[in-house]
Structure 1
Amino acid sequence: MSARSERPAPHGPVVVERNRYFTGKFMAARDFAADTEYLLNRHRLHNRLLHGWGIVCGLDVRPHPRPECARDWVVVTAGFAIDCRGRELVLTRDTAFRLPLPPGPDGEPPAEDCPPRPDPFLLCAEYHQEKIEPVPALYAEGTCDPHHTEFNRYREGVCLVVSDVTPGCWPGEGCGCDDEPDDHDCGCGHEPEGCDCGGSCFEPHCPCGDLVPLARIVPYEGGGYRIDLDGRRVLPPPPAMLTHVTGINWPHGGKLSLHDLRHHKHGELRICFDRPLREYDEDCGNARGVNPFTFVVQYSGPNEALEFVPYPEDCPPRLEDDGRTAVFTIDPDYLSGRGRRGLHDVVVYVSLRCDFIPDCRGIPVDGNHLRGLLPSGDGVQGGLFESWFEVRGGHSDRADREEEREES
C-alpha cells in the first residue's frame, strides 16, 4: 500500500481536554491521540494569535538558473512559514516549479495539468499532510480482515500551488508599475472583506484561504514573466536578525576637512549594512530602495537655512553592486571650496529613511542611530538614520585652489 495524501480537516474548536494519568488506567488509541491533538492545537493557537501568519524566513522565488528552463520555471528556496491556521510550513530544500504561462513564440506547451494564465497570478505555499508507512494492524475494529493495515505515521510538507490575485491576499498589487492602485482603506462605504472586528478571535481570518503567497507572477506578452515580491506577508524577525547600518565613512558629529572630503573620500558619502538590500526596478520609480528621496544630504552654514546638497545628474544616490553599500556622490562644484556654493565651513546633515529601504528579505532596515553608536537599531523595523559632521577649510584647501589655478 502506498502513502496516501489527505487534506487537513477544517479548523475546529479549541481543544480543552487532555489526559489525566493514573496507575491502572486503560489507554486506547483515542487517549494517545488526545495528547497530540491538544499540544498541536495549543501550539498552533499560539502561533496564530501571538505571531500571526506569513513568511518567517527563506521561500524566495527566483528564475530558474538554467537558461533552457528560465522561460517558465522558477525556484522556491528552502524556508519556513506559518499559515493563517497557525500550522508550520517547512520547505526543506530548494524546489523548482513550472509556471502555467501561455505558450511562447516557440509554441512550447504550458505546465502539465494546469491551464495557462495570461493574467497575473500568485505562487503560493500550502500546508500538506500525508499518511505514510503502512503496517499490519494487530486488531482492526469493525473488521475481521487478518491482512488489514494502517498507516503508522503522518508526514508534513509543503505544496506549491497557483491562485488568483485578490486585494486581501496580495496587498498593494505590486509596486504600481503595471496596475492601477486599489483604494481599500477600510473606511466608510469602502470596507473590504475582513475589515470588521466582529466574531471571535478563535476563528482565523484567512484572506488567502489556507495559502501563504510567495510571489505575484506577471506574464509578459510574447513570453517571459516578472516576479513581484513586494506584497509578501513577512513576519517580523527577532531584533538580532534585523538588518542594521554598520559603518559610515565620516566621523559622526566630528570634523572633516574639505581636502579630505575631496581627495580621501572622493566626494562620496558611504553607508554600509550588515546584509544585502533589495534593489528595485527603475520602472517602479523611487517608492522604495536607495534613491534621492530616501538618502538625503543637506547642509547649512552659520545663520543659514538648510539647503540640499546636490548630486550629479548622471550619478544619483545608489546601491553598489555588493548590495551592502549606499553611496551619495556630492556634486563636484560643491567641493571646489569657491563662493557660496562650496561646502566649506558648514555642517552636513545625512538622513536615511529606512522605513522605505528593505533588505534582501523585504524587511525594512533597523536604522535608528541610537546614542550615535553603530551598528544602528532599536530592535524595530524601519526608522530614521541621522548623522552629521562639520566641513572645515584650511591650508590644504587653499593649496588645492592654487593647484587648480595653475592647471587652468
Structure 2
Amino acid sequence: MTETETGFAVRALRRLRYFHGQLLGARDLQREQAYLREKIALPVRYLLGYGVVCGLLVEGVGDHHDSAADTTDESAAKTDESAADTTDGKDRRRRARVRITPGLGVDDRGEHIVVRRDCDVDLWEALPPDERTREGREVTTVWVGVAYDEEAVEPTRTVFTSGCSDSSDCEFGWTDERHRVVVTSKQPEPDQRCERCPGADDDRDCEHPVLWLARIDEIDWFRPVRGHRIDMTIRRPFGRRVPTVITGINWIHGHTYTIEEASALLGTHKESGGLRVAFSDDVRTDSLRRGVVDIQVIEGGAGRNADSWFMGGAFQDLPETEYTRGFRYRQTTREVLQDDDRVMITVRAGFLLDRCCRPVDGTHVGGRVPLIDGEGYTPDSCPVPPGGVGPWTSGTGAGGDTFESWFFVREER
C-alpha cells in the first residue's frame, strides 16, 4: 500500500545533501528551511498536541476585574453611551473592545502563535461585514481567536538575476512570523478528534488553524465589554486532546447540612432527589454501572465513633442514548443520618469512559468543583485555577483517578 493510499498526511522528508563544489540556489535553501520546519512541527503535532500554552487571556478594555464593580461599571457604561451620542443620535461610537494578553499558543499544524504584547481588538471592525447582522439585527455573540500568520518584510536589492526568468530589482529578504486576530459570529466547529496520528480518518477531516480563546455574549456595541460577558472556558488547553472533566455537582464540598437538608439532597424520601454530577463532554452511558459511585457514612457524635457503613443507591433516569452529560444518583434505602455524621461520596472516574473511550479526568483538585447552578459557592482561596480561567473543574491532565467529596450533617443549625 502506498503513502497516497494510506493517506499519510506528512510531506516527504528530503534532506539537502552537501558536497564540495555544489551550487546552491534560493530554492535549495528554501526546501532546507521547509525540511527543518516540518521536523520541528511533527513531534509537536502528533506527540504533544496543540492549544494555548500560556497567557492569551481575553479581557474587556477598561474592565477593572472587580467582582463588586459590575453595577458601577454598568452605570459608567451608560454615562459613556450618553456622552457618545450627539443631539441627532447619528454619532454613536462603538465601544465594544477586548484585549488579548501576551502569550503562546500552538496551532494544529505545529505553528507557534506568539502574542508579544497586549493586543487591543475593536470587535466591530474585526468582525467580517457579512457577519455583523443576522435576520436584520446586529449580532450579540462573537467568538475571538488567534491564528498563525506571516508576512515577507525587509526589501533587499538583488545582486544577480535568474537566467531562467525575469527578476525584480528588490526581493523581500525575511519572513516575519506573527499572529492574526480572528473574530466571527459563526459558532466554530468543536474539535472532537480522539487521536492525532498521520493517516487517521479524523486527522484528514478536522483542521483547526484558529485557536479560539473566548466567546463574548450579549454584546452592546456601544458600551465597553464587561468581564462577566467573556466566557473563556471554550479555549483549548495545550495537549493531544481535551480531557472530559467534572464541571459541577449539586452539593457544597465540605459543607454542613441539617439532617433534613441532607435527606433531601440524597433523595431519601423524594424520588426527584439525588446527587447530581455534570461533565464537560459526553460520557458513555453504558459505563455508568453499579459500583462506580459509592456513598459511605462515617458515624460521628459523642463517645466512640468512626464506625462506617455504605448507603445503598442507584443511578436514576439514565438516558437510552449512547452518551450523557451527567447523572443523578439517589439513595434507595431508608437509613437515617445522625448528628455529626460525615457523608463520603466517591466517583470512580477511571471507570467512566468518554466519547474517545478515555477515562474521565476526575481528580477533585482542592475540592473546588462548583455547584451546577453556579450560585452560593465561592472558594475562600484560589477562586481561579492556575491557568487564569475559571471556574474550577476536576482533573490534573493525567486522566482517570477518583473523584472524592464529602459533607457533614447536624441535627439543626
Normalising by the residue count of structure 2, what TM-score does the alignment of the two structures yield? 0.49
Q: Which has the higher contact order (CA 8 A, sep 6+)?
A: 2
| TM-score for the superposition, normalised by structure 1 | 0.49
